[in-house]
């Protein structure tokens, strides 16, 4: 079974510190709102579904602290990262329960279970896509670390492998913070799934030469028309896959679908500190006089998506608009 990225017990939120992987496995114990917000902001916990669950429990801790009301506590967490829609769904799930005088811990627990269960269903729904597409390219980390347990993009790979599929995964390193090389590769190695880490700019070579049968990625926010935001570099993978006739799949729970965004044009794109680009493994690699730009995400138009792998099956982009109002609650 895949690793658990976070869990909650007796007034404490336990998080795997993803900044330390793969070198060290460190579990943080958080008991107040401010450290949870900081953990989300600094990518100690990351991945849209996982930060949504972390934020839900951050609201629980804020309620126990008693310093802030539900709206003020929610605003602290909303300011951490603007792109991932799951963050806002997790916050609102507990904020509304708190405001109504309901059991906030029960609300957060139910939200966590919903995310875990939906990711498991994503695995079951998507596994048949990889019965014959054995060489799979991923980008960033959309495994258990990003989603509490099963993963989104990695869930169908896990299920397909458990059914006997012989899979090989190309793992984009994912600059600037190497979530693929550090985190996806770590998850795959733990489960002995064959893989190779490649530089981000090598993916086009393997797509053109026929070494990739399919691409699957996660998402941070999906608009009604199927445009979606994901880790920077996703857009170019989608375009090159389309150019070479390689299927491109996006896997996500319903909490990632934003019914209020008609298209991807209005999805906010987080820009992070330039130091993440100017340094590698803590060591500056650019000249002292150089500056950088650091968008954390890009938006890929729906026309480059072959299908979305959802908890309720594999959907074409044209089917998303009808499915979202029935499935999302935030």
Residues tagged active-site: 220
CA-to-CA dists, residue 213 to 97, 130, 150, 320, angstroms:
45, 9, 22, 24
- DSSP states along 11-52: TEEEEE-TTTTTT---EEEE-SHHHHHHHHHTTSS-SHHHHH
How far apart (Å, rounded) are the C-alpha atoms in residues 34 and 40? 10
72 φ/ψ angles, rounded to the nearest 5 degrees: -65, -40
> By 3-state DSSP, what share of the chain in percent is helix, strand and coil, each rounded to 5?
45, 20, 40
252 φ/ψ angles, rounded to the nearest 5 degrees: -165, 145
Query: Where would I find the beta strands (DSSP E) of the chain?
Result: 6-9, 12-16, 27-30, 135-138, 168-172, 195-198, 214-217, 221-222, 228-231, 248-251, 279-280, 283-284, 297-300, 307-310, 313-315
Report the sign of the C-alpha dihedral through residues 86, 153, 307, 305, in that order.
positive
User: What value, to the nearest 5°, has the Cα angle with vertex 103 and ends 50 and 71?
Assistant: 70
Q: What is the DSSP letter of 274?
A: T
Q: Would you give the end-to-end CA distance of the chain in angstroms?
A: 30
How far apart (Å, rounded) are the C-alpha atoms in residues 104 and 261? 28
How far apart (Å, rounded) are the C-alpha atoms in residues 129 and 314? 9
């Amino acid at each position: 079974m895949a690793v658990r990225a976070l869990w909650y017990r007796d007034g404490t939120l336990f998080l795997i510190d993803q900044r330390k992987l793969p070198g060290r496995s460190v579990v943080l114990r958080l008991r107040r709102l401010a450290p949870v917000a900081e953990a989300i902001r600094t990518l100690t916990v990351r991945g849209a579904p996982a930060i949504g669950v972390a934020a839900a429990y951050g609201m629980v801790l804020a309620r126990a602290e008693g310093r802030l009301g539900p709206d003020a506590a929610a605003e602290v967490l909303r300011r951490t990262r603007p792109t991932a829609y799951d963050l806002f769904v997790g916050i609102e799930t507990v904020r509304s329960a708190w405001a109504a005088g309901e059991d906030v811990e029960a609300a957060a627990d139910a939200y966590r279970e919903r995310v875990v269960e939906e990711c498991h269903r994503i695995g079951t729904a998507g596994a048949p896509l990889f019965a014959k597409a054995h060489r799979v390219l991923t980008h960033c980390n959309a495994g258990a670390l990003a989603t509490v347990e099963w993963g989104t993009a990695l869930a169908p790979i896990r299920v397909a492998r458990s059914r006997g599929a012989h899979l090989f995964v190309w793992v984009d390193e994912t600059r600037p913070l190497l979530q693929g090389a550090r985190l996806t590769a770590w998850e795959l190695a733990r489960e002995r799934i064959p893989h190779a880490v490649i530089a981000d700019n090598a993916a086009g070579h393997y797509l053109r030469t026929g070494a990739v049968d399919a691409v699957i990625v996660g998402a941070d926010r999906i608009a009604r028309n199927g445009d979606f935001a994901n880790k920077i570099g996703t857009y170019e993978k989608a375009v090159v896959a389309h150019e070479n006739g390689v299927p491109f799949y996006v896997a996500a729970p319903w909490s990632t679908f934003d019914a209020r965004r008609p298209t991807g044009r209005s999805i906010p794109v987080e820009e992070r500190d330039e130091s993440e680009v100017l340094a590698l493994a803590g060591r500056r690699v650019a000249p002292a006089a150089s500056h950088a730009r650091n968008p954390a995400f890009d938006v890929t138009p729906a026309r480059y998506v072959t299908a979305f792998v959802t908890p309720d099956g594999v959907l074409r982009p044209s089917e998303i608009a009808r499915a979202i109002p029935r499935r999302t609650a935030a």
